[in-house]
């Protein structure tokens, strides 16, 4: 009888240890680091007026973020982007049981969380502010994320999704 009790207790302890490991093994969450949303400031308005003359675009796959948003079940737009950047990343999206039970949803949510972390890192590289700001136009269809004094990412609603374009200031723009 006592051997059965020891066996049952050993099994329970083993199960608890495995559950603690599975639920505790997750990456850093972005729950406490979110973006602020604000209207355009004078710097952003000046950028829009001088964009063609003093800035050049770095075009890669500027609709890739739209594909990630669609895969996660979101409508690719500046409004969805603001909701994504200001909301906390749910902790459960990186839990191993969640990835086993809902692999498709976990991949989409994990991708969006990783993209959010990447934008957060870009926005805070040259900025001393712990709370970076996404500047949104009055109509809500254009957003700017300053990633330095001479670099900006422009998010714009298009008919085929959310277009993302990176701009850098030309070296001889002040001459």
Beta strand segments in 30-150, E: 36-39, 55-58, 133-136, 142-148
Beta pairing partners, 142: 156
Q: Which SS3 state, helix, strand or coil, does residue 58 take?
A: strand
Report how far residue 36's alpha carbon sits from residue 129's, in angstroms, rounded to the nearest whole number: 11
pTM here is: 0.72
Q: What are phi and psi of 147, to 5 degrees?
A: -110, 10
Whole-number pLDDT of residue 125: 76
Whole-number pLDDT of residue 27: 46
Maximum CA extent, the chain? 90
Whole-number pLDDT of residue 71: 75
Report the 10 Å Cβ neighbour count for 46.
Answer: 12
Q: Which SS3 state, helix, strand or coil, does residue 174 take?
A: coil
In the chain, where the domains are located: 2-169
pLDDT tens, per residue, the chain with 175 residues: 688 888 888 888 888 777 666 655 444 444 445 788 999 999 889 999 998 889 988 866 667 778 878 877 788 899 988 988 888 766 655 566 766 777 777 777 777 788 888 888 888 876 655 678 889 999 999 999 988 888 889 999 988 888 888 899 887 655 4
Distance set, CA 33 to CA 30, 41, 81, 134 (Å)? 5, 22, 15, 13
Q: Please state whether beta strands 36-39 and 133-136 pair in parallel, antiparallel, or not at all (unpaired).
A: parallel
Whole-number pLDDT of residue 147: 85
């Amino acid at each position: 009888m006592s051997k059965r009790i020891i066996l049952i207790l050993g099994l329970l302890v083993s199960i608890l240890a495995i559950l603690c490991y599975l639920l505790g093994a997750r990456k850093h969450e972005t729950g406490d680091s979110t973006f602020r949303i604000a209207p355009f400031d004078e710097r952003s308005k000046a950028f829009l007026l001088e964009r063609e003359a003093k800035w050049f675009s770095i075009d890669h796959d500027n609709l890739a973020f739209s594909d990630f948003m669609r895969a996660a079940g979101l409508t690719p737009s500046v409004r969805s982007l603001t909701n994504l950047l200001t909301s906390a990343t749910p902790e459960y999206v990186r839990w191993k049981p969640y990835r086993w039970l809902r692999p498709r949803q976990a991949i989409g949510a994990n991708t969006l969380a990783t993209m959010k972390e990447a934008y957060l890192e870009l926005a805070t590289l040259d900025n001393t502010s712990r709370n970076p700001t996404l500047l949104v136009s009055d109509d809500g269809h254009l957003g700017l994320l300053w990633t330095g004094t001479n670099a900006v990412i422009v998010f714009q609603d298009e008919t085929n999704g959310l277009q993302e374009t990176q701009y850098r200031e030309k070296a001889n723009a002040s001459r």
